[in-house]
Chain A
Amino acid sequence: MLSEYLPVVIQLLIAIGFAAFVLIVTHILGPKRYDPIKHDTYECGVDYYGNAQRKFAIKFYIISVLFVLFDVEVIFLYPWAINLVDLGWQGFWGMFVFLGILTFAILFAWKKGALEWE
């Protein structure tokens, strides 16, 4: 069972290795020319001001919380989908009710205007 994870590990190692390799190689081979303008943050020719981490409006937060909630909902679809044939009608209606409840949820959020971008 665990040996099935070998490709995952190999892929991770290759990804990390490639990133490290490219970084190191550019560091060694690339020419180094320093000047103050090059170290400046590039903002389309406009001088930058303030901090990069700015306050976000709360509307982003609503969307992302709703995303997490429906993400959790979707996660439950995976074990359901691969078992659908074995589960029969009971599993089908079970998921139907579950999704029905969450349809009410999305209906609620929609009608209350939580999905509108103001």
Chain B
Amino acid sequence: MIKIAFIILSLISIFSALMVISRKNPVASVLWLVFHFFGIAGLYVLLGAHFLAAVQIIVYAGAIMVLFLFVVMMLNLNLVNNEKRGKIIGKSIGAVVSGLVLVLFTYSIRTTKWNELFFNQVTDQEWGTAVKLGSLLFSNWLVPFQIVGILLFAAVIGVVALMKRKITRKVENGIVITQEEDVA
């Protein structure tokens, strides 16, 4: 049963990933990426990482994809021009390198004796649930967890510092004049 679910989910993920990189319309790519994230979330569930699967759907498929769509639209990319894509040599080098990496990883994962490693000792079926994760996160990992808060804070400062422009409005002779005070 799990095996069938795994095969279906990985087929969904691989197929949608291929669709992401082969679409000419960037908006279509982004929508396929949402589909891909659902497949990945399903794989997380199979691995027992239930909370991570929920995060994957809420944060990635929900929030981050909205951001992606905004970026795609902000850059005003319409159809990607075929002629401007990379030359055949670059493409084939990329293909060879990624193929070699694939072979290397497959080989190393096949040769590692996983059943001798610590995963065998994990008997708790619920280790990936929000309850288990929360009890670890807020006891042992409490201080590292605060670093995440600071990281998010730094990101907020970065967003405001990079993107915020000061716009002043004043009314002259009944006409609203907007002035953009742009630094640097």
List 28 contacting pairs A-B, 8 Å CB cutoff, sorted by A: A53-B72, A54-B76, A61-B67, A64-B67, A65-B163, A66-B159, A68-B63, A68-B66, A68-B67, A69-B155, A69-B159, A71-B63, A75-B58, A79-B131, A79-B138, A80-B134, A80-B137, A83-B131, A83-B135, A87-B135, A90-B138, A91-B139, A94-B146, A102-B153, A105-B157, A106-B156, A112-B164, A118-B178
Q: Is A58 an interface residue (CB 8 A)?
A: yes
* Cα separation A109 to B153 with both chains bound (whole Å): 10
In the complex, are the beta carbons of B139 and A90 less than 8 A apart? Answer: yes
Total chain B interface residues with beta-carbon distance under 8 A: 53
B57 CB to closest chain A CB, in angstroms? Answer: 11
User: Which single member of B5, B55, B62, B146 contacts A98 (CB below 8 Å)?
Assistant: B146
The reply to whether the CB of B74 lies closer than 8 angstroms to some CB of chain A is yes
Pairwise interchain contact B74-A90, C-beta atoms closer than 8 A: no
Q: Is the interface of A mostly helix, strand, loop or mixed?
A: helix
The interface of chain A, by Cβ under 8 A from chain B, is 1-2, 5, 51, 53-56, 58, 60-62, 64-69, 71-73, 75-76, 78-80, 82-83, 86-87, 90-91, 94-95, 97-98, 101-102, 104-106, 108-109, 112-114, 118
A69 to B25, CA, bound (A): 28
Establish whether residues B150 and A101, one from each chain, have CB atoms under 8 Å apart when the complex forms. yes
A2 lies within 8 A of B45 (CB): yes
Least distance between B146 CB and chain A CB atoms (Å): 6
* A51 and B54 alpha carbons, distance in the complex (Å): 36
Complex: chain B residue closest to A106, CB-CB: B156
Chain B residues within 8 Å of A, Cβ to Cβ:
2, 5, 27, 45-46, 48, 50-51, 54-55, 58-59, 62-64, 66-67, 70-74, 76, 78, 125-126, 130-131, 133-135, 137-139, 142, 145-146, 148-150, 152-153, 155-157, 159-160, 163-164, 166-167, 169, 178
Asked if A98 and B145 make an inter-chain contact with CB atoms under 8 angstroms apart, the answer reads yes
Pair A83/B63 contact, Cβ less than 8 Å: no
Partner of B152, one of A51, A64, A67, A72: A72
